[in-house]
Amino acid sequence: MAKKKTERELLAPTTTGIIEGAGEIVEQKIVYTLESNYMPYAMSVILSRAIPEIDGFKPSHRKLLYTMYKKGLLTGNLTKSANIVGDTMKLNPHGDAAIYDTMVRLSRGYEALLHPFVLSKGNFGKFYSRDMAWAAPRYTEAKLEPLCNELFRDIDKDTVDFVDNYDNTMKEPTLLPVTFPSVLVNANTGIAVGMASSVCSFNLREICETTAALIRDNDHDIFSTLPAPDFSGGGQIVYNEQALKDIYETGRGSIKVRSEYTYDKANNCIDITSIAPSTTIEAIIEKVIDLVKAGKIKEIADIRDETGLNGLRITIDLKRGTDPDVLMKKLYRLTPLEDSFSCNFNILVGGTPMVLGVKDLLDEWIAFRIECVRRRTHHDLRKKQEKLHLLYGLKEILLDIDKAVKIVRETEQEKEVVPNLMIGFGIDEIQAEYVAEIKLRHLNREYILKRTADIDELEADIKALEAILASKARIKTIIVKELKEVGEKYGQDRKSQILYVEDEAFEDVVEEIPDYPVNLFFTRDGYFKKITPQSLRMSSEQKLKEGDEIITAIESNNNIDLLFFTDKAQVYKAKASDFADTKASVLGDYIPAKLSMDEGEQAVAMIVTKSYEGMLLFAFENGKVAKVPLDSYATKTNRKRLTGAYSDKSPLVGVEYTPDDKEYLLRSSAGRMLLLHTGAINLKTSRTTQGVAVMKLKKGQRLMSIAPYAEGTFSKPSRYRTRSLPALGALPAAEDTAEQLTII
């Protein structure tokens, strides 16, 4: 076996052209591997790919927009997207597909941004559709939106730093000198290594007003000018003051956004016209279909996507008699028609990821913008000072133009012209070089007077620029003025309406269940049927599993509760409306499967109730009977299962419901019968009570059944009654034939 070598040995220089140790295993500490291999990758993703910076852009956004700016697409005509993608690869080497995807998401056609940066022509897809693909770049055209003037204003005046691109062939800006807080105007999300960023969008006009107010007064109440986010797709923002306060202060939290809808009474349908930014049309439709199939929503006849040139629209056809507002409340609760947008304002500030609240983020942007304006002012000052310096030299020439011409004419060597002018007029080399480069046609008094007339204006401008640099307040005033101009020129009304609701909006919607007569059937093997009287009249022959029989048949209505007691001392609660209307010719719903009972658990009895009034009788094999009020099984919450439904000390024989005390017939395995009046048994509030001993049983005997007693069953019913409990009961008399006992 080849000896393992350390990394130091493998990386040692060799004298041959062959790489020594190629293919061999390298022993390396895991900590070193993480530090040398994984950490640089993680930092690259965080700093150069996934997290936006204080100007509001990721590197991919910035490279694309700067390329379009350099191509003259800010004022020029539309050009093929493929041309833009190709030129952007000079700055972004990640491939044409990734670049085009970036451009699509910045475009007006995609509709993902509140204020798009790319004016698009052609099919750019839609952010609210998962399946609507955009066309290839050879088919679409694009240019920059007018708003991009505010991204590149004064970029050539040293407002931001420039760095070499990946192959050192051209320069690109590290940031864009945006004149408004674009970091909060357009939504931005990204997933890095170990951290993520999710910034919601705010209204441009409101952001500009808020930022200007913060510059004037750092204690400004943000809520007064920035009430809530604003999303490109519209929707209704469910106002939650505490949630918004958390986002504004910490940069983290979530916002509930509801879809907007209108009701078309003529066609009895609901039109969804806007959805939350975190979901898609397809996700909503699929969820609604699943709910309809599961029987949780019965009011919808059809749902379809009718999105077209007029914008987003999901149409929901309603069944007759459906209240659209009640249905929408239910859909808000059960589907992505109301969804949450999670905020995590993780922004790169000076190369460091920071999670900042709205105020802190605006403060950082203000500091960034102050530096941009300061650098721009310094650049303008330097240029004007340089020009003024040249004009001072030109002014000296005005004193004696003939002397200047004579010096140039009499100088034998060209290289001596500038030094001779310096000596002759007392000017420096830069001024002399400028004078020497003046064309012969300009060596006249008129030209020189026109040029030197700018001296007074330049001196005034320089004085004003120096005053700006000396006063931070003046720089802030300039920023406020620019913010006001941007807000007035590009601002638009809110797209997302703020919905102020009380607690009612967050409560579960009480479903209105359609009520109509039904016949309920429950079999010994656990099958259940709900049949309308009309259907039962048409065909009353019941289809049952071989050996099965109906043990409960009740005439009731659809708006009623069903309690299914099982052999595991549990009760499962359901509503008759949870089951579909069926026919007598089918087996029906198998209750253990329908209600997701435990493995091996069987339903043994069904109780029907609406008001939970009356009592339940539980008969056990040991001869005991328990009487429990039915309201012990009523719950304030919609619990589907209750454990400890009855005592499990002895096997259950039967469960009977009675509104009032009356007589029941009990029969033992020994053939004895006992008439029991339930008034002789005390009512117990505990569901798990073991009951009262009613029937005496000898060893090996057990209670077999319990059933309501029907008058006329026995010729002498007193034979089976007793004055005290427990009692043995009596054997049937000869006149009480078997035919009379079939009701048991």
Answer for the pair 668, 732: CB distance below 8 angstroms, yes or no.
Answer: no
d(CA 590, CA 587): 8
For 130, 233, 236, 276, the CA distances from 270, given in Å and listed in that order, are 22, 18, 16, 17
Q: What H or E segment, with its residue span, contains residue 589?
A: strand 589-590
Sequence-distant (6+) residues with CB within 8 A of 333 are 508, 509
Q: Are strands 269-274 and 26-27 parallel, antiparallel or unpaired?
A: unpaired
Answer for the pair 618, 626: CB distance below 8 angstroms, yes or no.
Answer: yes
In the predicted structure, residue 321 carries a pLDDT above the cut 90? no
In the predicted structure, residue 1 carries a pLDDT above the cut 50? no
Predicted pLDDT of residue 512: 60
Quickly state the pLDDT bin for 301 (edges 50, 70, 90). very high
The whole-number average pLDDT for the span 697-720 is 88
Alpha helices (H) along 277-400: 281-293, 324-334, 358-398
User: Domain 615-625+654-744, what architecture?
Assistant: 6 Propeller (2.120)
Looking at every residue in the chain, the average pLDDT score rounds to 89
Q: In terms of C-beta density within 10 A (0-12 exposed, 13-18 middle, 19 or more buried), how is residue 196 classed?
A: middle
In the predicted structure, residue 454 carries a pLDDT above the cut 90? no
Predicted pLDDT of residue 43: 84
d(CA 364, CA 742): 88
Q: What is the pLDDT of residues 71-121, one digit of tens each?
A: 999 988 999 999 999 999 999 888 899 999 999 999 999 999 999 999 999
Give me the residue spans of the domains in the chain: 5-42, 51-178, 260-336, 363-490, 513-610, 615-625+654-744
Predicted pLDDT of residue 32: 82
Answer for the pair 59, 94: CB distance below 8 angstroms, yes or no.
Answer: no
Quickly state the pLDDT bin for 716 (edges 50, 70, 90). confident
For 121, 274, 548, 581, 597, the CA distances from 589, given in Å and listed in that order, are 56, 39, 14, 11, 13
Predicted pLDDT of residue 473: 94
Phi, psi of 302, rounded to the nearest 5 degrees: -165, 155
Instruction: From 143, 151, 197, select the one nearest 173 (Cα to Cα).
Output: 151
d(CA 253, CA 81): 37
Predicted pLDDT of residue 505: 42
Sequence-distant (6+) residues with CB within 8 A of 499 are 236, 237, 238, 239, 258, 505
| Stretch among 4-13, 37-46, 319-328 having the lowest mean pLDDT | 4-13
Phi, psi of 50, rounded to the nearest 5 degrees: -100, -25
Predicted pLDDT of residue 500: 86
Provide the residue type at 677 as one letter.
H
The dihedral formed by the CA atoms of 601, 605, 608 and 613, expressed in degrees to the nearest 10: -100
In the predicted structure, residue 463 carries a pLDDT above the cut 50? yes
Answer for the pair 447, 435: CB distance below 8 angstroms, yes or no.
Answer: no
Tokens 């679409």 label which residue?
140
d(CA 185, CA 487): 11
| Stretch among 166-180, 210-224, 356-370, 700-714 having the lowest mean pLDDT | 700-714
DSSP 367-416: HHHHHHHHHHHHHHHHHHHHHHHHHHHHHHHHT-HHHHHHHHHH-SSGGG
The CATH number corresponding to 51-178 among 3.30.365.10, 3.90.199.10, 3.40.50.2300, 3.30.428.10 equals: 3.90.199.10
Q: What is the pLDDT of residues 493-542, one digit of tens each?
A: 999 999 987 544 444 445 566 788 999 999 999 999 999 998 888 888 88
d(CA 54, CA 42): 20
Predicted pLDDT of residue 17: 52
Quickly state the pLDDT bin for 743 (edges 50, 70, 90). very low
In the predicted structure, residue 398 carries a pLDDT above the cut 90? no
Answer whether 0.75 is exceeded by the pTM. Answer: no
Tokens 């140039």 label which residue?
408
Instruction: From 66, 152, 48, select the one nearest 103 (Cα to Cα).
Output: 66
In the predicted structure, residue 63 carries a pLDDT above the cut 60? yes
d(CA 59, CA 99): 11
Answer for the pair 238, 258: CB distance below 8 angstroms, yes or no.
Answer: yes
Predicted pLDDT of residue 14: 47
Instruction: From 671, 554, 551, 692, select the one nearest 617 (Cα to Cα).
Output: 692
The whole-number average pLDDT for the span 437-445 is 79
346 vs 399 pLDDT, higher one: 346
Q: What is the pLDDT of residues 587-629, one digit of tens each?
A: 999 999 988 888 889 999 999 998 899 999 999 999 999 999 9
DSSP 18-85: S-TTTT--EE--HHHHIIIIIHHHHHHHIIIIIS-BTTS--HHHHHHHHHHHHTTTTTS--EEHHHHH
Q: What is the pLDDT of residues 187-207, one digit of tens each?
A: 998 888 888 899 999 999 999
For 586, 688, 709, the CA distances from 657, given in Å and listed in that order, are 27, 17, 13
Share of the chain above pLDDT 90, in %: 61
In the predicted structure, residue 302 carries a pLDDT above the cut 90? yes
Predicted pLDDT of residue 502: 57
Instruction: From 682, 680, 691, 614, select the one nearest 651 (Cα to Cα).
Output: 691
Predicted pLDDT of residue 401: 82
Instruction: From 95, 202, 103, select the one nearest 145 (Cα to Cα).
Output: 103
Neighbours of 488 (CB within 10 A): 10
* CA triple 370-458-486, angle to 5 deg: 35
Answer for the pair 312, 262: CB distance below 8 angstroms, yes or no.
Answer: no
What is the 8-class DSSP label of residue 719? G
Q: What is the pLDDT of residues 443-452, one digit of tens each?
A: 777 877 888 8
The whole-number average pLDDT for the span 280-300 is 90
For 183, 369, 676, 726, the CA distances from 681, given in Å and listed in that order, are 75, 86, 9, 11
Q: What is the pLDDT of residues 108-164, one digit of tens each?
A: 999 999 999 999 999 999 999 988 889 999 999 999 999 999 999 999 999 999 999
The whole-number average pLDDT for the span 701-730 is 88
User: Domain 363-490, what architecture?
Assistant: Orthogonal Bundle (1.10)
Predicted pLDDT of residue 692: 92
Predicted pLDDT of residue 100: 95
Instruction: From 29, 119, 104, 112, select the one nearest 60 (Cα to Cα).
Output: 104
In the predicted structure, residue 370 carries a pLDDT above the cut 90? yes
Task: Please give the positions annotated as active site.
Answer: 139
Predicted pLDDT of residue 202: 96
Predicted pLDDT of residue 442: 76
In the predicted structure, residue 274 carries a pLDDT above the cut 50? yes
What is the 8-class DSSP label of residue 652? E
Overall CATH class of domain 260-336: alpha beta
Q: Please list the residues that pair with 572 across neighbouring strands.
A: 564, 641
Q: Can you list the positions of beta strands (E) in 610-743?
A: 615-620, 624-629, 641-643, 652-658, 663-668, 673-677, 692-693, 703-708
